[in-house]
Amino acid sequence: MTMKHKGKDLLILLNDVAIANSKSCDINMDCEVIETSSPDDGDTKHFIPGRKSWKVTTSYLVEADGTPIKSHLSVPGKIFTIKVKSRTLSDDVMTGHAICTNCKITGTKGNLTQGSFTFQGTGALK
């Protein structure tokens, strides 16, 4: 029987502090491609892998625990050490550095306040 990863088992840590009340998390890994086609190839293009990049986007409930909203809004532009790990597999950890490029706090009447953040990786996610 194959065990499936559950959404609640994915943890994101910023500077070794887990993001609490995470509602969603996306980890995007990209690889550029470099065209190596020559005129002799006719109408078919050829490519090789180029540079890689990664990005983490997370959304969580903003707690009313005495932490001011302005502390969340001061995060863009800061560099963090990010760890992506599994709650169930202790050795399933990836670490890298990332710059917070976006912060959005949303509060709607009748709902809990949510924060969403985007972190652009700088260097490898290992």
**Per-residue pLDDT tens over the stretch 29-50:** 999 999 999 998 889 999 999 9
Q: Kindly report the average pLDDT of the chain as a whole number.
A: 89
pLDDT at 118: 96
- Among the listed residues 119, 47, 51, 115, the one whose alpha carbon sits nearest the alpha carbon of residue 83: 119
Residue 3 scores a pLDDT above 80? no
Residue 69 scores a pLDDT above 80? yes
Query: Can you tell me the distance from the alpha carbon of 26 to that of 6, in angstroms, rounded to the nearest whole number?
Result: 13
The Cα diameter of the chain in Å comes to 67
